[in-house]
């Protein structure tokens, strides 16, 4: 079961923990591209250089089989008419990009994620594509006075609980996606379900997503609650993990669950810039390749049958960072 809701929320938390498979490099010149009606400007030197690795012909070298959008830490208690309200802007960007589906990495609604809050705030923006959203819960979804995840479950319904649990999986083309509830990573039932799910998977490529990141250079820092999950995913040759919780963007080089660089490891993408107040970068972690804060937007992921890559697209339509291209194991 998820833990008992804590008395404090993100606004009042003061004590926080501080703590290859690359292919082509970024192009030397800037470029313009029209994607889903949004003019995307790609600066020449936006992304940090990746330190060596393998070449491949997936990701940006291949036509995307499908596109998904991802973000976490989304709906503050504000609406489009409120000055400085960001989640309507990130939602408008998702609609223009028109992805096959949307992944959310928790803290979908602030502060206590009650059903009435979902209906008043989240639903007015990201609710526009609720039918193709594949969500996961964050710690704020556990703060609901009606019970942990009560509002989250009521709002998303069977989309978030397709088999009666707060974790599930689904397939798209040659990819297997696993949506997990990191509030209950100490639940043996979820661990056993994940083992069985990975054993039954027949797809070449695997991505998983949840709220609390194992690795983060932000204010919350590394969260070891995710390490057993990482080990399971690494042992089963997963490619990609997406997280939120810290309100910034960060991408990591492939690594193992102990934080050691590993060309056959997992790529972590932290995308907590969906609309909530930004956090500072506190302590840069090993294998961290790019970090951005004070940037609101969504991650546009391009998946092929053999690999993946992504762009961080800001609410101004500009490409703020582009990943290397990666091949599936």
pLDDT tens string 30-56: 444 443 334 444 333 333 433 333 334
**Cβ atoms within 10 A of the Cβ of 92, count?**
15
Determine the angle formed by the axes of helices 227-235 and 188-200, rounding to 10 degrees.
20
Q: Alpha-carbon distance 267 to 256, whole Å?
A: 9
pLDDT at 63: 65
- Return d(Cα 250, Cα 206) in angstroms, integer: 20
pLDDT in tens, 102-134: 999 999 999 999 999 999 999 999 999 999 999
Q: What is the structure's pLDDT at 11?
A: 37
Question: CB of 125 within 8 A of CB of 118?
Answer: no
Residue 282 burial (CB < 10 Å; 0-12/13-18/19+)?
middle
Of 11 and 150, the structure prediction assigns the larger pLDDT to 150
| Encoded tokens for 126 | 């990201």
55 vs 253 pLDDT, higher one: 253
Does pTM top 0.75 for this prediction? Answer: yes
Query: In the prediction, which pLDDT does 13 show?
Result: 41
- Give mean pLDDT, residues 85-112: 98
What is residue 215's predicted lDDT score, i.e. its pLDDT?
98
Q: Tell me how many degrees the CA angle 134-62-175 measures, rounded to the nearest 5.
A: 30
**pLDDT band (50, 70, 90) for residue 267:** very high
Asked if residues 207 and 240 have their Cβ atoms less than 8 Å apart, the reply is yes
Q: What is the mean pLDDT of residues 248-277?
A: 98
326, burial (CB in 10 Å: exposed 0-12, middle 13-18, buried 19+): buried
Can you tell me the mean pLDDT for 50-77?
69
What is the distance of C-alpha 264 from the center of its chain? 21
Write down the pLDDT at residue 62: 58
Average pLDDT over all residues of the chain = 86
Nearest-angstrom CA–CA distance, 157 and 223: 28
At 289-324, the pLDDT tens digits run 999 999 999 999 999 999 999 999 999 999 999 999
Spatial CA neighbour of 201 closest among 232, 163, 175, 229: 175
Residue 146 pLDDT > 90:
yes
Give yes or no for residue 7 having a pLDDT over 90: no
- Quick one: which of 174, 197, 159 has its CA closest to 306? 174
At residue 254, the pLDDT reads 98
pLDDT grade, residue 17 (50/70/90)?
A: very low
Burial class (CB in 10 A: 0-12, 13-18, 19+), 159: middle
% of the chain exceeding 70 in pLDDT: 81
CA-wise closest residue to 88 among 318, 315, 320: 315
Q: What share of the chain is helix, strand, coil (3-state, %, to 5)?
A: 20, 25, 50
* Residue 3, helix vs strand vs coil: coil
Average pLDDT on 176-200 reads 97
Cβ-proximal residues to 188 (8 Å cutoff; 6+ apart), any chain: none
Residues in Cβ contact with 252 at an 8 Å cutoff, skipping those fewer than 6 apart = 215, 267, 268, 269, 270, 285, 287, 288, 289
109 upstream amide cis, omega within 30 of 0: no
């Amino acid at each position: 079961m998820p833990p008992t809701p804590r008395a404090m929320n993100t606004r009042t938390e003061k004590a926080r923990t501080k703590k290859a498979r690359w292919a082509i490099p970024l192009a030397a010149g800037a470029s313009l591209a029209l994607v889903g009606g949004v003019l995307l400007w790609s600066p020449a030197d936006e992304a940090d250089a990746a330190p060596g690795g393998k070449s491949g012909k997936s990701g940006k070298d291949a036509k995307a089989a499908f596109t998904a959008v991802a973000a976490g830490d989304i709906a503050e208690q504000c609406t489009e008419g409120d000055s400085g309200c960001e989640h309507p802007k990130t939602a408008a960007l998702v609609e223009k990009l028109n992805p096959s589906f949307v992944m959310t990495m928790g803290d979908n609604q602030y502060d206590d994620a009650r059903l009435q809050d979902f209906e008043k705030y989240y639903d007015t923006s990201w609710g526009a594509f609720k039918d193709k959203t594949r969500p996961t819960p964050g710690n704020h979804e556990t703060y609901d006075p009606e019970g942990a995840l009560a509002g989250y479950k009521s709002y998303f319904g069977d989309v978030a609980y397709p088999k009666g649990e707060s974790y599930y999986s689904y397939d798209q083309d040659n990819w297997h996606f696993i949506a997990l509830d990191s509030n209950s990573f100490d639940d043996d039932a979820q661990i056993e379900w994940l083992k069985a799910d990975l054993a039954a998977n027949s797809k070449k490529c695997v991505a998983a997503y949840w709220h609390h990141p194992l690795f983060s250079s932000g204010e919350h820092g590394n969260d070891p609650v995710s390490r057993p999950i990482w080990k399971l995913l690494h042992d089963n040759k997963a490619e990609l993990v997406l997280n939120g919780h810290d309100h910034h963007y960060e991408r990591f080089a492939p690594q193992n669950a102990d934080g050691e660089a590993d060309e056959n490891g997992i790529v972590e993408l932290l995308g907590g810039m969906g609309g909530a107040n930004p956090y500072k970068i506190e302590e840069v972690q090993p294998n961290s390749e790019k970090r951005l804060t004070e940037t609101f937007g969504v991650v546009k992921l391009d998946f092929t049958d053999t690999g993946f890559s992504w762009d961080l697209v800001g609410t101004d339509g500009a490409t703020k960072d582009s990943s290397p291209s990666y091949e599936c194991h």
